Amino acid sequence: MSFPVLAIIGRPNVGKSTLFNRLIGRRKAIVRPEPGVTRDRHHARGEWNDRSFLAVDTGGISGPAEDPFNPLILRQTILAIEESDIVLFLTDGIEGLLPADRQIADHARRSQKPVFLAVNKCDTNRAKESLWDFSALGFGDPFPISAEHGTGIENLLEAAFARVPNDGKLEVESEEEIRVAVVGRPNVGKSSFVNRIIGKERALVSAVPGTTRDPIDSLCRRGDQAYRFVDTAGIRKRGKIGDEKVEFLSMIMAYRSIERAEVVLLIIDATDGPRMMDAQIARHIVESGRACIVLVNKWDLLEKETRTFDEKVTDIREKLVHLDFAPILSVSALTGQRCEHVFEDIRQVTAFHRQRISTRKLNLRVEKWVAAHPPHGGRNKKRPKIYYATQASTAPPHIVVFASRLPGKPYARYIERCLREDFDFSGTPIRVSFRKRE
């Protein structure tokens, strides 16, 4: 499984969000001692030992302290368990085993998912002493951890990941076909769009047979190029489920299909514009290093004035800052307007995503960029000397710059800007990193 979903469940205040932040590699977060704080992100990509996963924090909605296990939290917890591949069940060693823990344990057990029980706050003696009480929950020996101090987490993850097969890194750089993910909020027109461009020629293929959630792909061709639209079954999935659940499911679906694709079509409703969820997906696209095109769908519903498109573009650029490199195309899945253009765009961004610039060509430019704007040394420090640069990998392009000392992040952004100006990288994120050399 190339992208397992890890759900962190447990009572309020046991340290779920602290653990979540640790798993996604974010240190200082919006963790506050008082309950009821809404967090900004409830799911994010994490990496551990070369394996990427989606961490889901169920701690977002918490009720009043005197009602530590209200129905809202319970619903969130059940939903998260259902959608996960691995359940991290977190408890609080300081408070000890409480009836609410048993209640959560029952739900977790019924799901028949692999459950890993961890007792948090084991940086305190109190927690260490109560550790074994938790064996009574029936998930075997609990893992003692301290989410705050980062101890015990390696053991926990090692055990957890041993339970999901690793089919390795996905090979996205296949020359024969381009893998495309279609993502966006509910009702923006994802399934209408896929129906429109694939229509009758849809050939359904199950990409990974035998998994619980078979991703169904659709294949099609334009000219001599084959395109694989990933997870199209998920896109058409319907049913009577609550809004909150639809949003949650589309997020997980988006994350999963982004992981399986090389190019992501992020669809936005023209009558509405980007929202919070789009910004989260955008961030994920960049973190995963995928190429991207933003499609503004339902263009037929807009009153046409000459400036309409420019205004939309400005709005999208402001709200989706992570995707400043992505081309924006207005389409209508209903009338078919400009839908066919998407194929040419996909082809182009894929070419840039896979582009390799020779070391010689690159260094001719790097010399100029550095001369025009040399890196700062910081206070009392010697100015870094830039030796040379080379492209370490493609898809996405990764440029490594060798220097006598490491310049800061702003300088990496400067180099990225120069790269984009002097070469064409539209539609693809670029990674720039520095390495020290004597």
Q: Give the binding site for ligand GDP (CB under 6 A).
A: 10, 12-18, 31, 33, 59, 62, 120-121, 123-124, 146-149, 184, 186-192, 235, 297-298, 300-301, 332-334
Read off φ and ψ for residue 391, nearest 5 degrees: -90, 115
| Residue 79: CB minimum distance to ligand GDP, A | 16
Of 34 and 175, which CB lies nearer to ligand GDP in the complex structure? 34
Of 78 and 351, which CB lies nearer to ligand GDP in the complex structure? 78
| Residue 407: CB minimum distance to ligand GDP, A | 35
Q: Are 351 and 428 in contact (CB under 8 A)?
A: no
Whether the bond between 396 and the residue before it is cis, its omega within 30 degrees of 0, is yes
Of 8 and 419, which CB lies nearer to ligand GDP in the complex structure? 8
Can you read off the two tokens belonging to residue 292?
């991207």
Q: Sort strands 398-403 and 386-393 into parallel, antiparallel or unpaired.
A: antiparallel
What is the maximum span of the chain, computed from C-alpha positions, in angstroms?
Answer: 70
Of 126 and 436, which CB lies nearer to ligand GDP in the complex structure? 126
**Ordered DSSP codes for 106-146:** HHHHHHT--EEEEEE-TTSHHHHHHGGGGGGGSSSSPEE-B
| Residue 381: CB minimum distance to ligand GDP, A | 35
Instruction: State how far the Cα of 265 lies from the Cα of 397, in Å rounded to an integer.
Output: 19
- Please enumerate in sequence order all residues whose Cβ is within 8 A of that of 431, keeping only pairs 6 or more positions apart, or say none: 289, 396, 397, 398, 399
| Residue 248: CB minimum distance to ligand GDP, A | 14
Of 188 and 326, which CB lies nearer to ligand GDP in the complex structure? 188
| Residue 95: CB minimum distance to ligand GDP, A | 10
Strand pairing partners for 206?
216
Of 183 and 418, which CB lies nearer to ligand GDP in the complex structure? 183
Instruction: State how far the Cα of 394 lies from the Cα of 129, in Å rounded to an integer.
Output: 51
| Residue 158: CB minimum distance to ligand GDP, A | 19
Q: Sort strands 43-48 and 51-57 into parallel, antiparallel or unpaired.
A: antiparallel
Of 104 and 286, which CB lies nearer to ligand GDP in the complex structure? 104
| Residue 125: CB minimum distance to ligand GDP, A | 11
